[in-house]
Chains A and B, each alone.
Chain A
Amino acid sequence: GAGVSQSPRYKVAKRGQDVALRCDPISGHVSLFWYQQALGQGPEFLTYFQNEAQLDKSGLPSDRFFAERPEGSVSTLKIQRTQQEDSAVYLCASSFGTIGGVNQPQHFGDGTRLSIL
Chain B
Amino acid sequence: AQSVTQLDSHVSVSEGTPVLLRCNYSSSYSPSLFWYVQHPNKGLQLLLKYTSAATLVKGINGFEAEFKKSETSFHLTKPSAHMSDAAEYFCVVIVLSGGYNKLIFGAGTRLAVHP
Q: Do A and B bind each other?
A: no
